[in-house]
């Protein structure tokens, strides 16, 4: 006669049937609920989300003392705390490049940097490329070459080109392609972006926007 299937899973625990096991689990679950809910866990055992710290950020040549939560990204602080909305929110996971800004002169995704990590570094946003109301060379080149359609990715593209030209004032077309390869344009205006980057190199050499 076949062995009772209720007891097959409990051979290593003589005297405990499947029904007995399920009953034990059910009693344990009820007991756990009766102990209380998560809100009754002592406060010291829960990480306080609202904890803050004061940091100093060097942005566009100015020092800013700001109160932040350690979990806040540089993107959030630049936009929502400092109000520099030229830096755009895109994927927020380091894939699209819309939030690109410069850290110590090099293009970086602001969504992938904690604000507290950005202390003691020079940060440049889109707004920092302007001289009052005058566009910077890269900004002017993008306007001249129609290097945008919807324009959402444009600030990140401009910052990527700016970073490239600071490191390599006379890039080849292949170097330009590589320089903006981390920035996606969903409108596919890449040929215009490449031409704008080349023109920006010329404008910078002449001393600014035309």
Sign of CA dihedral 80, 86, 89, 92: negative
Task: Choose the final residue of a domain: 111, 128, 145.
Answer: 128
Q: Are 187 and 200 contained in the same domain?
A: yes
Q: Are 12 and 55 contained in the same domain?
A: no
Query: Can you say how many angstroms the Cα of residue 64 is from the centroid of all Cα atoms in its chain?
Result: 20
Residue 88's pLDDT band (boundaries 50, 70, 90)?
Answer: very high
The yes-or-no verdict on residue 68 having pLDDT over 70 is: yes
Query: What confidence score (pLDDT) does residue 48 get?
Result: 54
The yes-or-no verdict on residue 49 having pLDDT over 90 is: no
Average pLDDT over residues 114-135: 97
Instruction: Please indicate, yes or no, if residue 44 is contained in any of the structural domains.
Output: no
The yes-or-no verdict on residue 61 having pLDDT over 60 is: yes
Q: Are 77 and 22 contained in the same domain?
A: no
Task: Kindly report the number of other CB atoms within 10 A of residue 169's CB atom.
Answer: 10
Please, what is the average pLDDT of the chain?
A: 84
Instruction: Please indicate, yes or no, if residue 71 is contained in any of the structural domains.
Output: yes
Q: Are 166 and 199 contained in the same domain?
A: yes
Q: Are 149 and 183 contained in the same domain?
A: yes
How does pLDDT run across 26-41, given as a tens digit for each residue? 444 433 333 344 344 4
Q: Are 152 and 90 contained in the same domain?
A: no
- Residue 143 near residue 117 (C-beta atoms within 8 A): no
How does pLDDT run across 164-200, given as a tens digit for each residue? 999 999 999 999 999 999 999 999 999 999 999 999 9
Instruction: Please indicate, yes or no, if residue 98 is contained in any of the structural domains.
Output: yes
Q: Are 134 and 173 contained in the same domain?
A: yes
CATH of the domain at 73: 3.10.20.30
Place of tokens 């010291």: 44
Instruction: Please indicate, yes or no, if residue 184 is contained in any of the structural domains.
Output: yes
Task: Choose the final residue of a domain: 95, 128, 161.
Answer: 128
Average pLDDT over residues 2-31: 47
The yes-or-no verdict on residue 90 having pLDDT over 90 is: yes
The total domain count for the chain is 3
Kind of pairing, strands 106-109 and 100-103?
antiparallel
Query: What distance, in Å, lies between the first and last C-alpha atoms of the chain?
Result: 96
- Residue 164 near residue 171 (C-beta atoms within 8 A): yes
Range of the domain at 198: 130-210
Task: Choose the final residue of a domain: 128, 162, 194.
Answer: 128
Query: What confidence score (pLDDT) does residue 207 get?
Result: 78
pTM greater than the 0.85 cutoff: no
């Amino acid at each position: 006669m076949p062995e009772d299937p209720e007891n097959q899973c409990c051979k290593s625990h003589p005297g405990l049937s499947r029904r007995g096991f399920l009953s034990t689990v059910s009693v344990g679950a009820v007991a756990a609920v009766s102990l209380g809910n998560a809100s009754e866990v002592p406060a010291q055992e829960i990480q306080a989300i609202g904890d803050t710290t004061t940091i100093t950020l060097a942005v566009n040549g100015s020092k800013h003392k700001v109160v932040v939560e350690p979990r806040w990204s540089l993107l959030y602080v630049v936009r929502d705390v400092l109000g520099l909305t030229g830096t755009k929110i895109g994927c927020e996971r380091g894939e699209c490049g819309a939030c690109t800004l410069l850290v110590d002169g090099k293009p970086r995704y602001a969504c992938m940097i904690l604000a507290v990590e950005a202390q003691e570094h020079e940060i440049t946003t889109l707004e920092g490329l302007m001289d009052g109301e005058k566009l910077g060379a890269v900004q002017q080149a993008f306007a001249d070459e129609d290097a945008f359609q919807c324009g959402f990715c444009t600030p990140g593209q401009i910052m990527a080109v700016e970073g490239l030209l600071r490191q390599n004032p006379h890039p080849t077309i292949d170097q330009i392609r590589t320089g903006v390869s981390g920035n996606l344009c969903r409108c596919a205006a890449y040929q215009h972006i490449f031409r704008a980057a080349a023109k920006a190199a010329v404008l910078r050499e002449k001393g600014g926007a035309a």
